[in-house]
Amino acid sequence: MNTKSSSLPLSGVRVVELSHMVMGPTCGMILGDLGADVIKVEPPHGDGTRRLLGTGAGFFRTFNRNKKSVALDLDTPAGIEALHKLVDTTDVFVENFKPGRMATLGLDYASVKLRNPKLVYVSHKGFLNGPYENRLALDEVVQMMAGLAYMTGPVGRPLRAGSSVNDIMGGMFGAIGVLAALFERDHSGVGKEVQSALFENCVLLSAQHMQQYAVTGAAAAPMPERISAWAVYDVFTLARGEQMFVAATGDGQWRALCKILERADLLADPRLATNNDRVLARPWLLQTLGETLARFHGEDLVEKFERDHIPFASITKPEDLFEDKHLIESGGLVALTLDDGTDTQMPLLPISMDGARLQPRRAIPKIGEHTAEVLESLGYARADIEKMTGSEPAKAA
């Protein structure tokens, strides 16, 4: 792992993260990738996210790179005291537990800011302040509440998006709030409480459909039922059963597509002269294009579509991305060492700075791997640390 971080934007910023699952860890990961020293506090037996199966099996390794692990028993006075001391030394505190949990630990913002007024405190919640604020929320819950599931599935069959979109975006907005609060702190000298919430995040995703209704007076139809603004904007089945999304959103793309498919007859058809004409003819137009595309192989179309700037995409499964040419050759997929010492290929944050991607500097931490290192820096003796944790903490790599 590359351990150099002095040139990164958040070098010198300490973050204490008390979170699990996806939303809070995403915020901590982003801050860590940007160079912050992120200390993840987890129970002595480890964050339960480490042990999830099924759709949660990849959560921990995906959202917990570039972090240290400190294991504390927060059911003991000694563990609480150590966490308080740690938070008192930090620049940013990240949490995503249910409403009221931080108050029971004496770590609500009102309490913490009295001891550390420069602290930027970011909470990841289901809902911002309001009638729903005490409800528990999940990504799927807010997708149903905020219109996203309705827009994704066919009428009568609301369907959640196939990824934890609100959890991940909620963590992103939490990180954005942290960056803004740190910038302001440079001028004011005091920190700020930041909140990010799943429901409000999902409402932002639905805002374009809200405004479509406000502009047109007609409710937006779910994606499977929508009336497309473009005639050619669909998934087609090619030879050998391969599927490909193909679009032609302008007249130039339409002409190029017809030439590639050798359909001069469609170019000459007066019923297809403009995009709006083609939208009105969409049912039969898509049928005839589908019949033509069914004779082509995907590899024969890719070069021609790239050459003529026609939007297209083969339908890809997540596991296929490990072999994606662009990710590999651009350096967007790199080796990350896991807590068991093995490596996996992991996508980086989708940004570059001066042409460089933000790299993993730390492996996924073992449970409590950095407990001794961090607590000794707070003045704890090794014997006290062993009593607090019940055993000698793992040595840092």
Q: Which residues are catalytic?
A: 167
Structure-token pair, residue 281: 């003819």
CA dist., res. 325 & res. 328, Å (int): 5
CA dist., res. 252 & res. 259, Å (int): 11
CA dist., res. 112 & res. 85, Å (int): 11
Q: How many residues does the structure list for the chain?
A: 397
Structure-token pair, residue 223: 């994606």
Contact indicator for 237, 294 with CB cutoff of 8 Å: yes
309-to-28, 248, 255, 306 alpha-carbon distances in Å: 38, 10, 12, 5
DSSP β-ladder status, 14-18 and 37-42: parallel
CA dist., res. 57 & res. 227, Å (int): 38
Instruction: Provide CB contacts within 8 A for 330, sequence distance 6+.
Output: none
